[in-house]
Structure 1
């Protein structure tokens, strides 16, 4: 009897895993940059559903970002992990990551075009409801999605996890259309308290609908299980994984999405 039960459970688990479909999608931005996206959805769900863009950390489009797309698909969303660097490149070396990030952000218009290309690609997928799109971002990607909100992108909401809060292009009053959720580690040494104060002031002046969650004891990179290892490499950043913060921030995101997509 126990063997039969175990086999049934294994079969059900296999079916559940098989329901999540993934695809590598090639696309390009308006400036001709070749990009590689990672798309995930649950094929058991029929018809269009809300879509979520995932913007990677400064490491690039790695397995972590792709894993988040799959996790969103398992929650019932149409999810696309976008490429902000080109050719889907990624690294585990801090100097390379800094170089990739600086090159991507050197031209704010180019960065916006890469984000917009991913947004357009997600909207084209038959599983996506193009009127209900949100974006989440980690570290560098958090800054990307906040900048998208600042310039008035038609997103229902954006969520940042240990995201960069400063910007060269502050939001003008009335510009932000998206609801915003910020999940920030209070022990983050890479995003200073002054940056937090400036961000909140910017959002208040812009009239943004935002929530700011400060998590005690959480460092930069708190959501990534590889953060402890990546932070120990030579010249590595001050980052660290925090399981409790990872789980609470993901739970906050789910509640946020349920609310904004139900509206």
Structure 2
């Protein structure tokens, strides 16, 4: 049994609505901050927080769109996201506001702190990591990657996991290898999973306009180019995230 609730907080001039999931008991629990994909905080990322709570983690999926979803509105999403990911200070401020809310939750263990980011949410948690937040693990799924500069990561002590699809035009294997080389030069412990045939946001199951599940792997709503669902790689990437968290901050079981 887990407990979930929404938490409202201010950041970036907006009222953010995060999703918190906590295990039974009083803690302290290893604690995970989740950054959602560019379309907004949706049921998938809420479900990742819930699943982490069932495995013994206190998890919060942050919000950085003020409760708004851009599902089916790629132009609106890009108008919001592109200026954001171009502004390092703004990303760090948004990430810090969410982290402060999470660490204020009773039972949060700041000594066993991890983060997980999807797409633009990966950009935000990456920038937060450069500010000295002592993340024990940083997991990124089809992330937006910053310039590959080793000097930005020399003070980072956590273990990095980078997951992307081989057919993702927004996070290519070449970009991942360049970023991995920067982490290597900085002495960071890192690993990389490239999933053959997977596109961007390969975890996002297609839905119809009414929100019901659609058949196949092709999205029925408008998306940015290169997005596609991959039913085999979606659980594989999630198992890789669970393995990383179990290794670095540890809970008793990681069944998927």
Q: Which residue, 222, 226, 246 being the options, matches 1:258?
A: 246
| Aligned counterparts, 1:106-145, within 5 A | 106-145=86-125
Structure 1 residue 207 corresponds to structure 2 residue 195:
no
Change in Cα spacing, 1:173 to 1:101, as seen in structure 2 (3 Å) is closer
Counterpart Cα distance in 1 of 2:155 and 2:43: 34
Change in Cα spacing, 1:230 to 1:236, as seen in structure 2 (3 Å) is farther
What TM-score, normalized by structure 2, do the two folds share?
Answer: 0.85
Q: Which residue, 175, 183, 187 being the options, matches 1:195?
A: 175
CA-to-aligned-CA distance 1:160-218 (integer Å, 9 cap, x gap): 11112234876435222221111121122222343123212211222211111111121
**Which residue of structure 2 aligns with residue 217 of structure 1?**
197
| Aligned counterparts, 1:140-219, within 5 A | 140-167=120-147, 171-172=151-152, 174-219=154-199
How big is the shift at 1:244? Answer: 1.7
Q: Is the 8 A contact 1:231 1:238 kept in 2?
A: no
Change in Cα spacing, 1:169 to 1:56, as seen in structure 2 (3 Å) is farther
Greater length-normalized contact order (CA 8 Å, ≥ 6 residues apart) = 2
Q: Secondary structure at the match of 2:56?
A: coil
How big is the shift at 1:232? Answer: 4.4
**Which residue of structure 2 aligns with residue 11 of structure 1?**
none
Q: Is the 8 A contact 2:173 2:194 kept in 1?
A: no
Determine which structure has the larger helix proportion and give its number: 1
Q: Is the 8 A contact 1:84 1:111 kept in 2?
A: no
Counterpart Cα distance in 2 of 1:230 and 1:39: 31
**Which residue of structure 2 aligns with residue 14 of structure 1?**
none
Q: Which residue, 46, 62, 67 being the options, matches 1:88?
A: 67
What TM-score, normalized by structure 1, do the two folds share?
Answer: 0.83
Q: Is the 8 A contact 1:231 1:237 kept in 2?
A: no
Counterpart Cα distance in 1 of 2:98 and 2:149: 21
Unaligned stretches of 5+ in structure 2? 208-215, 252-256
**Which residue of structure 1 aligns with residue 25 of structure 2?**
45
Change in Cα spacing, 1:218 to 1:230, as seen in structure 2 (3 Å) is closer
Structure 1 residue 239 corresponds to structure 2 residue 218:
no
Say which one has the larger Rg.
1
Change in Cα spacing, 1:84 to 1:234, as seen in structure 2 (3 Å) is closer
Structure 1 residue 26 corresponds to structure 2 residue 8:
yes
How big is the shift at 1:32? Answer: 5.0
Change in Cα spacing, 1:156 to 1:102, as seen in structure 2 (3 Å) is same
How big is the shift at 1:234? Answer: 4.0
Counterpart Cα distance in 1 of 2:218 and 2:246: 33
**Which residue of structure 2 aligns with residue 35 of structure 1?**
16
Counterpart Cα distance in 1 of 2:201 and 2:80: 18
